[in-house]
Structure 1
Amino acid sequence: MRKAFLVVNALLTLSLIAQLYFAALGVFSPPEDELFRFHAMNGRFILPVLIIVWIVFGFIARIGRTSIILTFVGLVLLALQTGYFLIAGAMGATPPPNEYTPGATPYVLALHGLGGTLLLLLTVWVFFRVRGMGPLGRSSAETTASEPVTSTPTT
């Protein structure tokens, strides 16, 4: 089951890398192309599902208390991604096309990029942490014990 967890972890990491690409695609394309929607769709639909599956598979695979806590940290980091926009909205920021960012709201909104980067680094850290827990297949003791013992006569 740990292999399945690592596969989900890898998919989550790839989705986060794609998220960075989609953000850059949206920023560097003309607004009328509306290419930023890929960033929004991935962040609203795919990433939340992958993180929930990541947490569930972590429990099933028994990856350890600390690693489970780290998966929940990932969920909190994802929730904060929306939270930054809610905080900026409460401070008076308005979304495009009539974008207005008064006072300190650009600093709050800049945390969105930092939070996404931290989430990406967290998934990489958890992947290598769980992968380093030991063999994913049969242990060497099981392999040795299951092999037939043959004796060769010495002359």
Structure 2
Amino acid sequence: MRKVFVVVSALSLVSFAVQFVFAAVGAFTKPAGDGAYALHSVNGMAVIPVLTLLTVLFAALARAPGRLIGLAALPLGLVVVQALLAALANGATDAGGGSTPLGLTIAGLHAVNGIVAVHVVVNVLRGARQLSRPEPAAETTTVAVREGEPV
């Protein structure tokens, strides 16, 4: 189970990295229509949460420490924060639907939260890799004792 924990953690990190690519695709699509961020939305609202749940499941099955299991679950909360920030940024427009300084600031926080999520997933992957390493065999030391000498 520990190897599967590593693989699912790595897939989660790949999904988060691809999320930034999908955001760039949406930002640079011309003309920007409703579907410009479709890949970003599907990955962020479906793929990442499923991979996060699988990561938590395999962390528990691998008997990871509780702290690592909690860290593996944290991206779910960050995805909820992402959705709230996106909704707030989209809602903070002027009467004509144009960007406002407040909306742009909130959108910036959406990007910062994404960076935080990537750092969390990197740490989960590090923890999974460390957990999957075989423990070194305990070294035994042989001591020669002469008869009659105190031990």
Q: TM-score range by the shorter chain?
A: 0.7 to 0.9
Structure 1 runs not aligned, ≥5 long: 142-155
Cα distance, 1:43 vs structure 2:
1.1
> Is contact 2:6-2:129 (8 Å) kept?
yes
Secondary structure, counterpart of 2:131 in structure 1:
coil
Number of equivalenced pairs:
136
The residue aligned with 1:27 is 27
> Is contact 2:6-2:132 (8 Å) kept?
no
Secondary structure, counterpart of 1:58 in structure 2:
helix
Task: Quickly say closer, same or farther: Cα 1:58–1:132, change in 2 above 3 A.
Answer: same
The residue aligned with 2:98 is 100
Secondary structure, counterpart of 1:30 in structure 2:
coil
Task: Quickly say closer, same or farther: Cα 1:12–1:134, change in 2 above 3 A.
Answer: closer
> Is contact 2:9-2:128 (8 Å) kept?
no
Quick check: 1:41 aligned with 2:42? Answer: yes
Task: Quickly say closer, same or farther: Cα 1:103–1:27, change in 2 above 3 A.
Answer: closer
Secondary structure, counterpart of 2:40 in structure 1:
helix
Greater than 6 Å deviation, 4+ residue runs:
none
Query: What is the percentage of aligned positions where both structures have the same residue?
Result: 28
Matches within 5 A, 1:7-22: 7-22=7-22
Secondary structure, counterpart of 2:70 in structure 1:
helix
Scaled by the length of structure 2, what TM-score is found?
Answer: 0.77
Amino acid at match of 1:29: T
Task: Quickly say closer, same or farther: Cα 1:18–1:58, change in 2 above 3 A.
Answer: same
Distance 2:24 2:105 in 1: 19
Distance 2:38 2:88 in 1: 21
The residue aligned with 1:57 is 58
Distance 1:101 1:85 in 2: 13
Secondary structure, counterpart of 1:132 in structure 2:
helix
Task: Quickly say closer, same or farther: Cα 1:101–1:32, change in 2 above 3 A.
Answer: closer
Matches within 5 A, 1:115-134: 115-133=113-131
Distance 1:131 1:77 in 2: 23
Task: Quickly say closer, same or farther: Cα 1:86–1:24, change in 2 above 3 A.
Answer: closer
Amino acid at match of 1:42: N
Structure 2 runs not aligned, ≥5 long: 138-151
Scaled by the length of structure 1, what TM-score is found?
Answer: 0.75
Distance 1:80 1:32 in 2: 24
